[in-house]
Amino acid sequence: MAAMAAKKMSVKPSRKASEKRARSEPTSSKKASRKQVKRADSGLEPDPKRIAELLRRLQAAYPNAECALHHRNAWELLVATILSAQCTDARVNLVTPELFRKFPTPQAFAQASLPAIEEEIRSTGFYHNKAKSVSGAAKKLISDFGGKVPQTMAELLTLPGVARKTGNVVLGVAFGKTEGVVVDTHVLRLSHRLGLTRAEDPKRVEEDLMRIIPRDHWIAFSHEMIHHGRQICVARKPKCAECPLETLCNAPDKTWSSH
């Protein structure tokens, strides 16, 4: 894979979307009429037109949404994604420059002691397990895949520390391949709020999303949902009055509703 330029993502909703939202800002009287809205559809057979509109608005709001993890190649992305479990991408991005300076290749990771790797990744949390995963993945890469990151989900899942979320990130971002939909904490939460699934298990959520989202949208959809989850549809108090998806959303925990 051609080396990818490392870059920090900070995608803002587009100007057009912001203007549209500004026009629909609630008045004080609207604020006073905050209400809880029951989910209208089953989450099992979403209206294709609603899905198409949802995708259109997400794309308009986050036209350049990409993976926020800094990396220069598929191996670095794999490591960064393993480190991002239970940790922010921003924290991972603080750690990886020095980590990849000390251990620039899978071979270097495979030869490093676990304490040496742990020392570098301590601040990302769960560093004992993450060091084992990264070290194990490096060794497996060398023994089974010629030192190169494999390009199928089945092969990626044989690497220690790699589950479908990491596999989908690597396949989609590093190789432009769509074998599934990335389901992280943001995609999970937003999929429930938007009535796209009722499942709790990430694998079942992914299956629901793969069924209702057209395949050619899978990669962008994940990135857009993650950015929307970080900026607007946050966990505790979603900013519904600013949300470009508001008229399509019947989440029971909306903080403001126009309908």
Number of residues that bind ligand SF4 (CB under 6 A): 13
Interface pick for ligand SF4 out of 70, 192, 193, 217 (rule CB under 6 A): 193
Verify whether residue 201 is a known catalytic residue. Answer: no
Interface pick for ligand SF4 out of 206, 251, 258, 259 (rule CB under 6 A): 251
Binding piece for ligand SF4, criterion CB under 6 A, among 42-50, 61-69, 106-114, 247-255: 247-255
* Short-list 253, 225, 248, CA closest to 237: 253
Q: Are 37 and 251 in contact (CB under 8 A)?
A: yes
CA distance 28 to 32: 6
Sole residue written with tokens 């057979």: 45
> 205 to 234, contacts with ligand SF4 by CB under 6 A?
232-233
Amino acid occupying residue 107: Q
What separation in angstroms does the CA of 153 have from each of 141, 166, 238?
A: 14, 10, 33
Per CB under 6 A, 57 contacts ligand SF4: no
Per CB under 6 A, 51 contacts ligand SF4: no
CB of 233 to ligand SF4, least distance (A): 3
Verify whether residue 16 is a known catalytic residue. Answer: no
Q: Are 187 and 180 in contact (CB under 8 A)?
A: no
Based on CB atoms, which residue is closest to ligand SF4, 161 or 238? 238
List CB contacts of 31: < 8 A, sequence separation 6 or more: 241, 256
DSSP-derived letter for residue 247 is G
What separation in angstroms does the CA of 158 have from each of 71, 110, 134, 234?
A: 22, 16, 13, 33
Based on CB atoms, which residue is closest to ligand SF4, 138 or 225? 225
**Which residue out of 89, 130, 184, 254 is catalytically annotated?**
184
CB of 71 to ligand SF4, least distance (A): 29
CB of 221 to ligand SF4, least distance (A): 14
**Which residue out of 130, 140, 165, 254 is catalytically annotated?**
165
Q: Are 118 and 128 in contact (CB under 8 A)?
A: yes
Based on CB atoms, which residue is closest to ligand SF4, 68 or 232? 232
Per CB under 6 A, 195 contacts ligand SF4: no
Amino acid occupying residue 89: D
Positions touching ligand SF4 (CB under 6 A) are 193-194, 232-233, 238-240, 243, 245-246, 249, 251, 254
Catalytic positions: 165, 184
